[in-house]
């Protein structure tokens, strides 16, 4: 059972930056895709960015392109999300998720929360104007 623990959330002013981390208890050979999701108050959870573990290929939601960067440190079993130029609408609980489906990242469904095998508890990001 892979456990995911997010950290790095906090409160910042608009235009500021944060770096989120997601520590995995292990990077097993069966994990192919890792993704950041977020859930804003009153809204459904939505995909932010994903990375394919073997190739490092990255995928972004339109709202994240140009501002957020997803990366991984395989040696430390850690996923990151660098968030720059933050906006109040980025305020949300941010989750990381991992999937054993080798095609999850590349099939176009990475931003759909169903079928992800493992989830963290989330870290809160609050952006004030």
Token readout for 114 is: 């169903």
Q: How many CB atoms lie within 10 A of CB 72?
A: 19
Looking at the chain, the whole-number percentage of residues with pLDDT higher than 90 is 78
pLDDT over threshold 90, residue 67: yes
Cα separation of the two ends of the chain: 40
On whether the CB atoms of residues 100 and 35 are closer than 8 A, the answer is: no
Which tens digits make up the pLDDT trace of 105-126? 988 899 999 989 999 999 999 9
Q: pLDDT band at residue 28, thresholds of 50, 70 and 90?
A: low
How confident is the model at residue 16, as a pLDDT? 98
Q: How far apart are CA 112 and CA 72, in angstroms?
A: 21
Q: Find the mean pLDDT for residues 39-62.
A: 95
Q: What separation in angstroms does the CA of 5 have from each of 2, 20, 30?
A: 10, 10, 18
* Residues in the chain, total: 129
On whether the CB atoms of residues 94 and 45 are closer than 8 A, the answer is: no
């Amino acid at each position: 059972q892979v456990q995911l623990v997010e950290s790095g959330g906090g409160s910042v002013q608009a235009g500021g930056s944060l770096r989120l981390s997601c520590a995995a208890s292990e990077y097993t050979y069966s994990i192919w895709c890792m993704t950041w999701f977020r859930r804003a108050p009153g809204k459904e959870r939505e995909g932010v960015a994903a990375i394919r573990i073997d190739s490092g290929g990255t995928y972004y939601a339109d709202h994240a392109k140009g501002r957020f960067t997803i990366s991984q440190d395989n040696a430390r079993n850690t996923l990151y999300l660098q968030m720059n130029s933050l906006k109040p609408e980025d305020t949300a609980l941010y989750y990381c998720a991992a999937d054993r489906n080798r095609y999850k990242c590349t099939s176009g469904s990475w931003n759909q929360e169903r079928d992800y095998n493992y989830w963290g508890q989330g870290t809160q990001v609050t952006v004030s104007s």
